[in-house]
Amino acid sequence: MTQTENIPGGVVHDLPMDLAAALTANPKALATWEDITPLARNEWICWVETAKKAVTRSKRIAWGCENLEEGKRRPCCWPGCGHRERGATPEPPLEP
């Protein structure tokens, strides 16, 4: 899978375009992404999407791709996606 629209998302969250583009640009990170579970992908996506500022989101995408490139399967030091709880809904993405 190399096209952005063919990269799998998570169990609750769809893959945002900016994260998909970063993964497409980094073959090692993309290989790890495709190897991890949908739940693990969900954790990465939620971690990126919960950033309150666009600059933080960009930093998380860059740091996340570096960590995926190193083979890390989940974001470090993050309590996890709260949207998996019954009745929770994801927050809308940031406006550019």
Per-residue tokens: 34: 């495709």
Which residues are within 8 A (CB) of 40 and not within 5 positions of it... i.e. 6 or more apart? 73, 74
Q: Which residue has the tokens 């995408």?
A: 61
pLDDT the model gives residue 95:
57
Q: What is the pLDDT along the chain (96 residues), one digit of tens a residue?
A: 446 668 998 888 899 999 999 999 999 999 999 999 999 999 999 999 999 999 999 999 999 999 999 999 998 877 777 766 555 555 565 655
Q: Which residue has the tokens 């860059």?
A: 62
pTM of the model: 0.80
Write the DSSP symbol of residue 13. S
